[in-house]
Structure 1
Amino acid sequence: MKHQHLIQQTSDLRRRWTAVLRALPTASRDWATSDGLVWMHLFKTVAAALLALGIAMLLDLQQPRTAMTTVFVLMQPFSGMVLAKSFYRIIGTAAGAIAALVLGAVFVQQPELYMLALSCWIGGCIAAALRYRHFRWYGFVLAGYTAALIGVPTVTDPNNLFLAALTRAAEVAVGIACSSAVSALIAPRSSSVALQRTLRNRYLDFTAFAAQVLGGKVERDVFEERFADLVDGIVGFEATRAFAAFEDPGVRTRSQRLARLNSEFMDVCARLHALNQLLKRLKANGLTPVVDTIAPYFEELSALLVRRNEQNSGASHATRAAVELRIFQVTLPRRVRQARGPLEASVPQLLADFDTSTELLYRFVDEFIRYAETSASIEQHTPVKEWPVVRYVSKTNGLVVGLTFLRSVVVMGIVAWFWIETDWPSGGLAFIGAAIMCALSSTAPDASKMTLQIAIGTVFATVVAYLFTCYVYPNIDGFPLLCVTLAPVLAFGAFIAMRPGISGYGVGFSVFFCLLAGPDNVVSYQPDLLINNGVALVAAMLVASLVLAVIFPAQMPWLIGKIKGSLRSQVVLACKGELGGLNQYFQSSTHDLMAQLRVLLKNRSRQHSDALRWMLVTLEVGHAVIDLRNEAAHATYVEGLHPRWSACLEEMSADIAELFERPERRGLDRVLTSLRETTAIAQGVLDTVPADGERHHDLQRMLGSLRFIRTALLDKDAPFNMR
C-alpha cells in the first residue's frame, strides 16, 4: 500500500511538472510582452547613459554628466521616438546655443537686462512649445533651457561664452548619438509595428462599438465616455505617425495615406455620433413609426459589422467589410423607397424625419466604406488612388499660450531677481532649475503637482549624490567599477520615471542626480557646494510649484471657459471658412481642443461633462453645416430656381455662428427662424424638380442637413438648452 501511494505521488508530481513545462512558453511570451519590456527599457537606458559617459570622458569633454543627462531625457520605449526627439533636440540645442551667444553679446556686463531677455526668450520658447505640440514641443523647449544652460554659467565670463556653447553642443551630441544607437541596435522596438497594431485594434474596436450603437445597446453616459476615448486616440495617433516616420521609410511614403485614414476616422466617428443622437431624439419625441421603419436597416448593418468582427481573419477583414458594406449601400436606396411608401400613406407628416434618418445612414455607410478601404490598403500595402493632401491641424487657445509665457517669465524673474539681489553663489543653478521646471511642466495636466514631485525627487537625488561624492567616488578606481556602482542608482530612477502617477519623482531623481553628482574627468569633492546646489534646485522648484498652484493655475474657471469658447468657435469656422479642406481642418482642430480640455479637467466632473457636450454639439452642427455648404456649392442652380436661396443660406450660417459665439436663448430662437425659412425654400424647390433625378437627390441631401441641424439645436441635452 505504501509503495502504491509513493507511485501515485510520483505520478502526480510528474504531471504537475509536465503542466509547468508546457505552460513555460506561454508564460515566457506573456512576460516578454509585459514586464520584460520594462526591464529591457531599463537596461537600454542605463547602457546608453554609461556609454555616453564613457565616450564623453574619452573625448575629454568638460562635463560628461551632460551627455549622461541627455540620455535620460531622450530615451523612449520605441526607437522612432528616440530618433524623433534626437532630431528636434539637435535643432533646439543649436537654436539655444545661438540665442545664448546673441544675448550674451548684446547685454554684456548688464546682468539685469541679460536675465530679463533670457527669461523672455525661454518663456517664448515654452509658449511656442505649447502651441506646436508632440515632438516639436521638445525642440522649442530645448531651445529655451539650452540657452540658460550655456549662458547662465558664463554670464560673469563672456569671453568663454563661445567655447561653452561649442562644448555644450558636443556633450549633447554624444548623448544623442548613444541613445539613438542603443535604441536602434539593441533589441529595437519598431514604432511602425506598434502603429500597425494600433490601427488594427482601433478598427476592430470601433467596428464593435458602431455595431452596439446601431443596435441601440449603448447608454448615453457610456457613449460619451467611449467617444471621449476616441478623441484621445485620434490626437495620439498623429504623434505616433510623426515619430514612426523617423524610423521607417515605409511609413514616410505612406504618411499622407495615414493622415487621410485619421481624417476618415474622424468623419465616421462624427457620423456615428450623429446617428446615435438622431435615434435618441426620435425615441424621445415618440416618433415610433419612423423608428420602427428604419430599425431593420440599423439592425442589419449592426449584424453585418458584428459578423465581420467575429470572422476576423487579419488583413482581409477590412477588405471584406468594405465589399459587404458596398453591397448594402447599393441596395439601400431601393429598399428605402419601398419602405417610404407605406409611411407616406399612413403618417405623411413624419416623412421629413424618415428622410433625414435614411440620408444620415447612407452617409455613415459611405464614410465607413472609405475608412475600411483605406485601412485595408495600409495593412496590405496595396496601392490606391491618392486624394488631395490631408493635414492634421493642432490648435491652442491664444490666451493659454500667453498665460504660459507669462507664468514662465514670472517664475524665472523671481528666481533671477533673488539671485542678483543676494549674489547667491548657487543662484545660477536655481535659475536653470526654474527654467527646466517651467519647460517640463508646460503640458502637464497638473503642473504644480508635477513640479512638486520633481522637487521631492531632487531632494532624494541630492542625498544620494552626497553619499556618492563623499563615500563612493573616493573608494573606486577605473571606469568599469564606476559603471557597476552607478548602474543600480540610474536604473532605480529610470524605473520610477516609468510608473504612471509617480513619474515626476523618477524624473527629478534621474536628471538631477546626473547634474549634481554625475562624474566628470576630474571629480570635484566639494560636499558643501553640492548641498548648496541641491538646495538651490529644490528652492527654485518650490517657487515654481507655488506660482503654478496659486497665481497661474491651469484649472482656472475663466481659462477653461476661454478654451470652451475656442471649441465653440469651430462652428464659426464651419459657417464662414473657405470650403477647400475645411472639413479636415474643422475635424482635427475640434478634436485637438477637446483633447486639451480632457487633460485639464477631471474625468466625470461637471465641467468635464459640460465640455464634452459642447464638443459633441459642435461636431454635430459643424459637420452638418459643412455638408450643407458643400451641397449648396455643388447645386448652384438652386439660386436660379429661387432668388432668396443664397441670401437665406448666408443669414442662417451667420445666425448659427453668432449662437455659438454667444450661446443665448434669443440667438437660438433667431437660428430656428432662419432654419424654418431656409428649409421652406429648399422644400419648395424640391417640389418643382423631377423625382429620382440628380437635382432631387441634391435637394434631399440639403434638406436632411437642415433638419438635422434643427434637431441638434432643439435637443434637450444640448448645453445651451440646459442653462
Structure 2
Amino acid sequence: MNVTPAGATPPRLRDEWLAYWKDDAPRFLHIVKVGLAVALSMGLCMRLELRSPATAMLSCVIVMMHQQSGIVIARGFYRGLGMVGGSLAGLVLIALFAQQPLPFFLALAAWIGLCAFGSAYFRNFQSYGLVLTGFATAITAMPAISNPYGVFDNVVYTISEVVIGVVCASVVSSIVLPRNVAPALAAASRVSFTHLLGALRTTLEHATSMPQTPSSAAPQADALLGLISERANVELLRTGALFEDPSMRFLHSVFLDLDRSFLDTVTWLYALQRLKAHAIADAHPRAQAAIAALTDATLALMPAQAGAPGITDAAVAALLPQLDAFEAALPARLAAQLQALADLPPSQRRVVASTGAALLFMTADLRLLCRRYIEARNADRLPWNVSVLQAISRIARQHAVANRTAALVAGARAALAVLLVGAVWVASGWVGGATAIVAVAITSTL
C-alpha cells in the first residue's frame, strides 16, 4: 500500500487539464481548421456544380497533414502544380496520339520515366510535385483513351477540384490562427547542431579508449542516423518557411550550405568511427599515442554539453576562429607526428595519416557549418543590400538534389514498367488495362 507523505498534496485536476490543454490545444485547433477547409472546399465545388467535390476535400486533408502554415502552403503549391502539369500532359498525349496505342504508350512511358527521375533526383516538395505530375498524367489520359473527346472535360474538372482544395487549405491555414514555421525552424536547427557537437565530443572521447567492440559501435551508428533524420526535418521546415516568409528566400542558399556541411561532417564522423573500429585496435602503441594526441587536440575545441535549449550563438561564434586556427595548424602537426613515426612500418603510419585526414576534412566542414549557422542566425541584422548580394552570388546553388545515377535508374525502371504493362494490355486485349496503367504509374513515381 502506498502512503502519501503528510507534506505532499495530490496534483489538482485543474492543473492536469491545463497541462493537457497546453500540449494538445494546437492539435485540436488544427482539427477545427481542417474541418473548416474541407467544408469550404465542398461548398465551393457544390456551388460550381463540379463533378467530384470529394477530390477537393481529399486535397484539403492531404495538404493539411502538417500544422505549420508555411508547410501547408508549400505542399499545396506543389500539389496543385503537379496536378495541373500532369493533367495538361495527359491532354497533350491524347491530342497527339488518339487511337494510336504504340506511340501513345511510348510517349506515356517516357514522360512517366522523366517524372520518376525528377522525383528521385529532387527533394522535399519538389519531389512530391513531380510524383503527382507523373501519375496525374495517367489518371487524366487513361480514362479518355477510348473516348478522346472527353479528355478536356476530365482535365477541367480535375484541375478545378484540386485547385479549390489547395486554395481553401492554404487560406484557412494562413489566416485562421496561423502557426508559423520560422520558430520551429530555428529551434530544430539549434537542436540538430547541438546534437552534432555532442556526437563529435562522444566520438573523440571514445577515440582515446581503444579498442572498440562491435557492441559499442552500434549505438554510435544509430546516433548518426538520428542526426541525419533531424537534419531532414530541418530541411522540410526550411522549404515550408520559403512560402511563409519571402525574406527567407535570401537565406535559402545559406540553409543549403548548412545541410551540405552538416551531412559532410556526419560523413567524416562516421569515417572516423570506422577507422577507430577497424584500424586503431591493431595499431602500434606509438601510433595509438599519435592518434590520441590528434583527437585530444580536436576534442579540446568542442564546447561543453549545452542544456535543453541547445548551444548558444555566442558559443558557436567563439568556436569558429578556433576551428580556423586548428585547421591551419593541423597539417604541420600531422606531418610532425608522421615524422616521429618514421621508423614504424608504412601500415602503422598510414593509420595515423588516415585519422589526421579525417580530422582535417571534418574540421573544414564543421568550420563551414559554424559560419553558415551564424549567418542564418544574424541574417536579420545584415544590411538589405548585403543579403541580396549574397543571395544573387549563390543563385546557381538553389536546389537540393540527390544522386543522379540512382535517379536515372528509377526513371528507367518506371518507363520500362509502363511499357511492359502497356504491351500486355495491347497483346491480350485486357479489359482492365487502363486501371493497370494508372496503378503502375502511381507505384513507379512513388
Q: Same fold (TM over 0.5)?
A: yes
Aligned with 1:441: secondary structure? Answer: helix
Given the superposition, is the C-alpha separation of residues 407 and 73 from structure 1 closer, same or farther in structure 2, using an over 3 Å criterion?
farther
Distance 1:301 1:29 in 2: 43
Q: Over residues 183-215 of structure 1, what are the superposed CA-to-partner deviations in whole Å (9 max), with x where a residue is unaligned?
A: 222343333333322221211111111111111
Residue number in structure 1 paired with 2:370: 372
Task: Note if contact 2:182-2:241 (Cα within 8 Å) is conserved in structure 1.
Answer: yes
- 1:401 corresponds, among 411, 419, 428, to 411
**C-alpha distance in 1 between matches for 2:113 and 2:126:** 14
Query: What residue in structure 1 maps to residue 440 of structure 2?
Result: 438
Over 3 Å counting, the alpha-carbon distance change for 1:412 and 1:314 in structure 2 is: farther
Which of 20, 29, 43 matches 2:22? 29
Show CA shifts across 1:652-699 (max 9, x none). xxxxxxxxxxxxxxxxxxxxxxxxxxxxxxxxxxxxxxxxxxxxxxxx
- What aligned pairs does 1:675-690 form with structure 2 within 5 A after superposition? none
Question: After the TM superposition, which residues 664-675 of structure 1 pair with which residues of structure 2 at under 5 Å, given as runs?
Answer: none
- Bigger shift: 233-242 or 49-58? 233-242
Distance 1:421 1:353 in 2: 63
Partner of 2:267: 270
C-alpha deviations, 1:405-430, integer Å up to 9, x for none?
22244446667888x655xxxx5xx8
Per the alignment, do residues 199 and 17 of structure 1 end up closer, same or farther by CA in structure 2, a change over 3 Å counting?
A: closer
- Preserved contact between residue 96 and residue 143 of structure 1 (Cα < 8 Å): yes
Is the contact made by 1:211 and 1:303 (CA closer than 8 Å) also made in structure 2?
no
Q: Is 1:261 matched up with 2:269?
A: no
Look up the match of 2:155.
Answer: 165
Cα deviation per residue 1:295-316 (whole Å; 9 max; x = unaligned)? 2452354355251535955333
State the AA in 2 paired with 1:137: S
> 2:408 corresponds to which letter in structure 1?
G
Spell out, residue by residue over 1:546-571, the C-alpha distance to the aligned partner (whole angstroms, 9 max, x if none): xxxxxxxxxxxxxxxxxxxxxxxxxx
For 2:192, the aligned partner's letter is: R
Conserved in 2, the CA contact under 8 Å of 1:79 and 1:184? yes
Gaps of 5+ in 2: none
2:64 to 61, 72, 75: 75
Equivalent of 1:292 in 286, 289, 292 = 289
Q: 1:65 aligns with which of 34, 43, 54?
A: 54
Rounded to whole Å, the distance in 1 between the matches of 2:137 and 2:368 is: 48
Deviations 1:317-358 (A, max 9, x none): 3223334545655776787788788x4698697666556544
Change (3 A) 1:304 1:71: same
Distance 1:330 1:53, change over 3 A: same
Q: Greater CA deviation, 307-316 or 374-383?
A: 307-316
**Separation of aligned partners in 2, 1:268 and 1:300:** 17
Query: Alpha carbons of 1:254 and 1:15: their partners in 2 closer, same or farther (altered >3 Å)?
Result: same
Q: Distance in 2 between matches of 1:298 and 1:317?
A: 21
Q: CA RMSD in A?
A: 4.1
Tell me which residue corresponds to 2:39: 50
Query: 1:204 — aligned with what?
Result: 194
CA deviation vs aligned residue, 1:583-630 (integer Å, no higher than 9, x gap): xxxxxxxxxxxxxxxxxxxxxxxxxxxxxxxxxxxxxxxxxxxxxxxx
| CA distance in 2: counterparts of 1:400 and 1:307, whole angstroms | 44
Give the SS at the match of 1:104: helix
Deviation at 1:54, TM superposition (A): 0.2
**Deviation, structure 1 residue 182:** 1.9
1:245 aligns with 2:238: no
Q: Which residue number in structure 2 is paired with residue 528 of structure 1?
A: none
| Matching residue's letter, 2:38 | A
Is 1:309–2:306 an aligned residue pair?
A: yes
Decide whether the 8 Å contact of 2:303 with 2:319 is kept in 1.
no
TM-score (norm 1): 0.50
- 8 Å contact kept, 2:59–2:166: yes
1:101 to 2:99 alignment: no
Task: For residue 306 of structure 2, give the secondary structure of its aligned residue in structure 1.
Answer: helix
Following the alignment from structure 1 to structure 2, what is the Cα–Cα distance between the partners of residues 355 and 421?
65
Q: Indicate the SS of the match to 2:10.
A: helix
Give, in angstroms, the shift of residue 251 of structure 1.
2.3
What are the Cα deviations for residues 227-246 of structure 1, in whole angstroms up to 9, with x where unaligned? 34445555665454334322
Work out the CA distance in 2 between the residues paired with 1:99 and 1:345.
67
Cα deviation per residue 1:457-479 (whole Å; 9 max; x = unaligned)?
xxxxxxxxxxxxxxxxxxxxxxx
Which residue number in structure 2 is paired with residue 623 of structure 1? none
Letter in 2 for 1:431: A
Select the structure with the greater relative contact order (CA < 8 A; seq sep ≥ 6).
2
Structure 2 CA distance for partners of 1:129 and 1:362, relative to 1, 3 Å: closer
Segments of structure 1 that go 5 or more residues without pairing to the other structure are: 1-8, 445-723
Q: How far apart, CA to CA, are the structure 1 residues paired with 2:100 and 2:354?
A: 69
Describe the superposition over 1:60-101 as per-residue Cα deviations: whole angstroms up to 9, x where unpaired. Answer: 223323322332343330333332233333333333333333
**3-state SS of the aligned residue for 2:312?**
coil
Q: In 2 relative to 1, CA 124–329 (structure 1 residues): closer, same or farther, beyond 3 Å?
A: closer
Shift in Å at residue 254 of structure 1? 0.6
Whether the aligned pair in 2 keeps the contact of 1:282 and 1:291 (CA below 8 Å) is no
- Verify the 8 A CA contact 2:327 2:364 in the aligned structure 1: yes
Which of 213, 219, 222 is the aligned partner of 1:222?
219
Residues 372 and 310 from structure 1, CA distance in 2 versus in 1: closer, same or farther, beyond 3 angstroms?
Answer: same
SS at match of 1:189: coil
Q: Residue 30 of structure 1 aligns to which amino acid in structure 2? A: D
Instruction: Please report how far the alpha carbon of residue 53 of structure 1 lies from its aligned counterpart in structure 2 after TM superposition.
Output: 0.8
Q: TM-score, normalised by structure 2?
A: 0.76
Aligned identity (percent) is 23
Residue equivalent to 2:130: 140
The alignment partner of 2:57 has SS state of: helix
